[in-house]
Amino acid sequence: MLPLKYLLSLSPIGAPSLESSRSPAPERLQLTGRALVIGSVAAASMAAGVVGASATAVRHGRPAGRRRLAREIARTVARLGPTFIKAAQVLGTRRDVVPAWLCDELSMLQDDVPPMTATQGRTALREAYGDELDEVFVTVEKVPTASGSIACVYRATLLDGGTVALKLRRPGIGPRMAADLALLRRGAALVARLPMFRGVPVREVIDNLCESVLGQIDLGREGRDLGRLREDLGSVPRVLVPRVHPEASRPAAIVMDFVPDLAVDTADRCPPALRRRFAASALTVVYQMLFINGFVHCDLHPGNLYFTRGGQVVVLDAGFSVQLSERMRDLFANFFLNMSIGRGERCAAIVLESAIGVSDDADVGAFTEGVTDLVARSYKLSAKEFSLIAFAGELFDLQRRYGVAASPELVFPLLSLLVVEGTVRSLDPDIDFQETAKPILNRALFGIR
């Protein structure tokens, strides 16, 4: 660990922070320059990708060609940097407006990047704390314990001797991502005018996407969201959300309790009975957020959801969280309840009621009939045969086919279930998603929250 005075003595002044990017909008010249870079990278990458996908389609058929094209699109996104990776991850959930073959690749995008260098870490500390750093920490470890495209996590010691996790935003990333998102919004405005996208809520989808990405840049907001999740999930047995230290946190840094010995493979080394308990607890966490509190962590992949040998479920990283309106929380709970008891027509009505757009040529009757059939078939499946991912994929396909654009408020909560399903199934293949939900649904719809 390095003393703070040593860190500060070597710290160069960093790039402007996110806060500075929020006052005046990015200058037109900056946007033009960034647009040229994005355009050249995308054009060069996709030109080769389209040729390769076309050749694959000729040799192995159109489905193989589409898969190849989807992979090339994902690779292009990865080359464009963290803004586009984050945006593509969110867009990959919108199966109501994006073809399933493309969603499969976008949703799997990984932004595993090298950690910040020692120099970058010192710059990030200076950006976040300025001259106050030695008034908050005694030491900060030089090497991060975790790394992402937006931030890195360091082990640190507070003045009172407490060991904490310090999540630091990468220096200078705020203005660049703000510029990229401004370009995405301008591009969406142009695409929305094309005849082929008439009736598709392109601007609404991109605006919501941009807000989701911006929420992951603002670590001050994420710290408050973690505090909210800790409070909301405090009544759920065996669930831990690390306590945030707001007095030590900043808009570019979150300080929280350090949870030792977290490993993604802990559950693999536990007995079957404990694994089944993990599955039930993880699913209860999602249902509590969806049906009771309405504040939802939408990104509970294995890097944000851990298990301890003591039987606890640990929830981390609330950067991608959404607040449901009371109306939408009630609609989603009713949708899930009616799905679990086989009332397909009511499920279709709820989707239509919550939709942000129905195209001029939408076939509402065919959509309702399709959803009714889907729910009837799913209702008859055993717990082991039922797949929430397959159900959601077919539902979104029906929406896209018949011109019904789902509200992000309905899609993102469903995303939280889709993300966690694989983990829960691996822990307990026999778990019944619908039956496990019923007690919490009854509390949400008929009891006192």
* Average pLDDT, integer, range 341-368: 89
Whether 138 maps to a domain, the answer reads: no
- Judge whether residue 22 has pLDDT over 50: no
Whether 394 maps to a domain, the answer reads: yes
Task: Give the pLDDT score at 201.
Answer: 67
Q: Which domain holds residue 414?
A: 262-449
68-126 residue pLDDT tens: 888 888 888 888 888 888 777 767 766 656 777 887 787 666 555 688 999 999 999 99
Whether 237 maps to a domain, the answer reads: no
Task: Give the pLDDT score at 379.
Answer: 85
Could you give the CA distance from residue 67 to residue 65 in angstroms, rounded to a whole number? 5
Task: Give the pLDDT score at 36.
Answer: 83
- Judge whether residue 26 has pLDDT over 50: no
269-322 residue pLDDT tens: 999 999 999 999 999 999 999 999 999 998 888 888 999 999 999 999 888 888
189 and 237 in contact (C-beta within 8 Å)? no
What pTM did the predictor assign? 0.75
Beta pairing partners, 358: 404
Beta pairing partners, 257: 164
Q: How many domains is the chain built from? A: 1
Whether 90 maps to a domain, the answer reads: no
Whether 395 maps to a domain, the answer reads: yes
Beta pairing partners, 323: 295
Would you call 154 helix, strand, or coil by DSSP? strand
376 and 389 in contact (C-beta within 8 Å)? no
Whether 224 maps to a domain, the answer reads: no
Whether 389 maps to a domain, the answer reads: yes
* Average pLDDT, integer, range 39-44: 82
Could you give the CA distance from residue 97 to residue 170 in angstroms, rounded to a whole number? 32
239 and 149 in contact (C-beta within 8 Å)? no
Whether 23 maps to a domain, the answer reads: no
Task: Give the pLDDT score at 84.
Answer: 81
Largest CA distance in the chain: 69
